[in-house]
Amino acid sequence: MANAVVLGRDLAKLRRSADLTQSELARLMETTQTAISRTEAGRVLPGLAMIDRWTRACGRTLTLTFGADAELAPASERRRRVREVLGDFEFNPWERNPTEAEAQSLIADGLTRERFQR
């Protein structure tokens, strides 16, 4: 699963470097925003054809290295890094009125409205 997570992170960086939202990229790729979200979250490992469409839609290149061990920091270290950057800020994705597809993706990840209510 770490490979899907690492690839998803790299594809998200590629999309952001092209200054595209997930919805914009989905439209350019003729796919759904949910497919983009799931890929970037590492829940789906895309095939080479999808990666090619992704890079072309972003107008960027991506180099994939096979045979090397990808080092993914432990979850505790990733959480520490996030807290270091964000401090006490907590992002509530429900405050920005997500689309139906985004809402379904949030719920699938266990990020319900109730979880963000205080």
> How many other CB atoms sit within 10 Å of the CB of residue 93?
15
Whether 64 is in a domain gets the answer no
Q: What is the pLDDT of residues 60-104, one digit of tens each?
A: 999 988 777 667 778 898 889 888 888 888 889 999 889 998 999
> How far is 43 from 106, CA to CA, in rounded Å?
12
Do 48 and 94 lie in a common domain?
no
In angstroms, the CA 30 to CA 92 distance is 28
pLDDT at 1: 44
Instruction: Indicate which CATH number applies to the domain containing 37.
Output: 1.10.260.40
Question: Residue 112 contacts by C-beta under 8 Å, 6 or more apart in sequence?
Answer: 106
Give residue 32's domain range: 2-58
Joined together, the tokens standing for residue 89 give 């800020």
DSSP state of 93: G
Tell me 43's DSSP state. Answer: S
What percentage of the chain carries pLDDT values higher than 90? 53
49 with 79, same domain: the answer is no
Specify the pLDDT at position 91: 84
Backbone angles phi, psi at 62, to 5 degrees: -140, 130
Q: Is residue 52 located within the same domain as residue 81? A: no
Tokens of 4: 């899907």
Q: What is the mean pLDDT of residues 22-44?
A: 95
Residues 38, 81 within the same domain: no
Total structural domains within the chain: 2
pTM: 0.60
